[in-house]
Structure 1
Amino acid sequence: MTLGVLALLGFQLVDSAFVARLGTAPLAAQSFTFPLTFLIIGVQVGLGIAIAALISRALGAGEMARARRLGSLVLMVGGVIMALLALVLWWAQQPIFSRLGADAATLGLIRGYWAPQLLAAWLGALLYFIYSLFRAHGDTRLPGKMMVVTSLVNLVLDPVLIFGLGPWAGLGLPGAAWATVLAFGSGLVIAVSRLRRQDWLAIGGLRDEAAYSARPFLGIAGPAMISQLMPPLAAMLAISIVATLGEASVAAWGLASRLETLALVVVLALTMSLPPWIGRCYGAGDWTQVRQLLRLALKVVVIWQLCLGLTLALTAPWLAQLLAGSPDVRSDLTVLIRFLLPSYAALGVCMLVVSAGNALGWPLRAMLMSAARLFLCYLPCLWLGAWLAGLEGLAVGAAVGNVLAGWVAWKLLRRMLAVKSAAEGKKTVLLSRERT
């Protein structure tokens, strides 16, 4: 999953790197769309969390027929929900981007890019739901391989569709979106053909299963979706703060956002692969292994992110030169990399705790943790830093917010596991007395 996520996020960074060669204005236009793209991803990830949690718990309890029915339901319902969301965002694009701070020229660039980008997002969501189904059944190889395949297709098509080939001039900024459409479309064809070979879907009994599973599904998907929607909302507020610092800062912030997801590749892979495993342990009542898994995952996240963050911070000028074309954008991006990347060790802890909370039946606590991270730790520090010291203050404020969020998440996880241990101890004592 790490290799697959690395490939997937790498092609998003490649998109931005190619668009940066078109100039600062197209890159800034693309950066304004990131919060809404994250909004779409947030909804699909929230649904994917519920898919993986319910199906893995059913498999852990030996309920194979129910797991098949759940697989069919979530693919159908998820596709309809994501299509409706894409239509709403296309219809409301002008007021949304205007309020984010885009001027008339930027709105014109966004208009040609937004429709194919929404189509790509919908295809990507369908592909993600199929990946979630495979992960819930313990197969992480196919999703990883398919992420690599779609990334390679996008990498080949990006320069052709953006800049053209031979006498053909290319599509410019919309070419990046159309390359993603073709990449996700090809991946969807392969994934569906592989899914048809598995006995993981059912046709009969879907109505009864929908009535039976709607409440537990919404109990997980609702808080998880809200948790996933809060980062896009925070990203919208953050980019409105960055927009006050100028176009170059917006462009640099967009590149830093893409670099952030790439730098967090191990964390993202763990948040995808760990919950199904934890869900099976939860279904089987094996809390000892749950604790061992979480301890190991947290150690990996902290050590890896600190080493990677410090290395990238030291090489920030060269990395910024590789990604950005404008000298102003390179300068701002260097500052953001130096302060933000090392703080992702703490951010990774928070992300892992939220993911584990959803898998362990604590979706409300996970949602509250997400809210505290963004609206009590991250955004206030971001705004205060920008107000006090411009872009440098903004970078420092964002880093401080990430560190605070990681510390709060760690304290919350320790408290939740302590409560569970106490409950297990009482249960063991009661069973012992009953036997006596």
Structure 2
Amino acid sequence: MAIGVLALLGFQLVDSAFIARLGTAPLAAQSFTYPLSFLIIGIQVGLGIAIAALVSRALGAGEEARARRLGSLVLLAGTSVIALLALLLWAVQGPVFAGLGADPASRELIRAYWAPQLLAAWLGAALYFGYSLFRAHGDTRLPGKMMVVTSLVNLVLDPLLIFGIGPWGGLGLPGAAWATAIAFSCGLLVLGRRLRRTGWLARDGLSAEWRLSARPFVGIAAPAMIGQLMPPLAAMLAISVVAALGEAPVAAWGLASRLESVSLMVVLAMTMSLPPWLGRCYGAGDWEQVRRLMRLALRVVVLWQLGLGLVLALLSPSVALVLSGNPEVRDDLAMLIRCLLPSYAALGVCMLVVSAGNALGWPLRAMLMSAARLFVFYLPCLWIGAWLGSLTGLALGAALGNLLAGLAAWQVLRRVLASPRRRRPIVA
């Protein structure tokens, strides 16, 4: 899963690196779309958490027929929800991007990019729901491989569709979105064929299963989605602060956001692969195994993220040079890397604890923890830092917010695992 996440997030970083060659204006325009793209991702991750939790718990309890029915229901519901969200975001794009601080020239660039980007987001969500079903059944190999394959397809198509080849001109900024859409379509074709062979889906008894499972599904999905919606909201508020500093800081912040996702690949892989395992332990009542898993996962996250963050901070000028050719953007990006990357060790702790909470039967507490990370620690520290010292102060404030959030999440996890309560099964 770590290899797959690296490939998946790596091609998003590659998109931004290619777009940076088009100029600062297209890169800044793409950066304004990140919060809304994260909004879609937040919804799909929340639904994916519910998929993995319910299906893995059913399998842990030996209810294989029920797991098949749940798999069919959540795939249908998830793709429908994301389609409706994409249509809504297309309809409200004008006032939303204006509210984020995009000027008329940036909004014109965004308008041509937004439709194919929303299509790519819907295709990516459908693919993610399929991955969630495979992870719930304990198969992380196929999702990992498919992430690599779609990444390679995107990598080949990006320069062809953005810049063109020979006498054929490229599509510019929209070409990046079309490359992603085609790559995800290829992944869906392969995943659909594999799902038909597995026997993990059912056609009969779906109505009765929906009446039985709608409440526990919403009980997990709603807090998880709210928790996943908070980072996009925080990203919107953060980029509105950065937008007041100028076009180059916005472009640098967008590249730093992409680099953040790639640098958190191990954490993201764990938040995808660990909850199904925890869900099975939850279903079997094996809390000692839960404790061992969480101790190991937290050690890996802290050591990996801290080591990677320090290395990238030392290499920040070279990394910024690779990602951006604009000297002003490059200097801002190098500063952001030095300030932010080491703090992702604490951010990873918080992300892992929130993910575990959804699998272990306390989704509301996980949602509140996610809210506290963003609105009690991250954003206040970011705003204070920006007020004190422009972009550098903003970056240092964001790093301090990550550190405080990680410490708070660790304390919550210690208290919960010290005396876990017996939970009722997912079916009354």
TM-score where L is the length of structure 2: 0.98
Partner-residue secondary structure (3-state), 2:165: coil
Q: Deviations over 1:120-176 (max 9, x none)?
A: 000000000000000000000000000000000000000000000100110000000
**Is 1:415 aligned to residue 420 of structure 2?**
no
Cα distance between partner residues in 2 of 1:373 and 1:212: 34
Unaligned 5+ runs, structure 2: 423-428
Give the Cα–Cα distance (whole angstroms) in 1 for the partners of residues 261 and 229 of structure 2.
Answer: 16
Off by >4 Å, runs of 4+ in structure 1 = none
Secondary structure class of the residue paired with 1:197: helix
Structure-to-structure mapping, 1:171-210, within 5 angstroms = 171-210=171-210
Q: What percentage of aligned pairs have identical amino acids?
A: 77
What does residue 221 of structure 1 align with? 221
Q: Secondary structure at the match of 1:417?
A: helix
What is the rounded CA distance, in whole Å, between the counterparts of 1:387 and 1:99 in structure 2? 21
- Quote how far apart the aligned CAs of 1:419 are: 2.7
The within-5 A match list for 1:22-421 is 22-420=22-420
Q: Structure 1: how far apart are the matches of 2:419 and 2:29?
A: 48
Instruction: Provide the residue aligned with 1:428 in structure 2.
Output: none
Residue 352 of structure 2 aligns to which amino acid in structure 1?
Answer: L
Q: Distance in 2 between matches of 1:305 and 1:402?
A: 13
1-structure distance, mates of 2:324, 2:382: 23
Cα distance in structure 1, aligned partners of 2:105 and 2:303:
44
Deviations 1:205-264 (A, max 9, x none): 000000000000000000000000000000000000000111000000000000000000
Corresponding position of 1:431: none
Q: Using the alignment, how far apart are the partners of 2:9 and 2:104 within structure 1?
A: 30
Q: 2:425 corresponds to which residue?
A: none
**Structure 1 length-normalised TM:** 0.96
Q: Tell me how many residue pairs correspond in the alignment.
A: 422
1:430 maps to none
The one-letter amino acid of 1:10's match is G
Greater shift, 411-420 or 178-187, is seen at 411-420
Quick one: which amino acid aligns to residue 410 of structure 2? W
Rg bigger for which structure?
1
Residue type of the partner of 2:153? V
SS at match of 2:361: coil
Work out the CA distance in 2 between the residues paired with 1:387 and 1:328: 21
Whichever residue aligns with residue 283 of structure 1, its letter is: G
2:133 aligned partner, one-letter code? L
How far apart, in 2, do the equivalents of 1:347 and 1:77 lie?
A: 31
Alpha-carbon deviation of 1:417?
1.0
Distance 1:195 1:325 in 2: 43
State the Cα RMSD in Å. 0.6
Q: Separation in 1 of the partners of 2:7 and 2:177?
A: 17
State the Cα distance separating 1:418 from its structure 2 match: 1.6
Output the CA distance in 2 between the equivalents of 1:244 and 1:79.
36
Distance in 2 between the 1:66 and 1:219 partners? 18
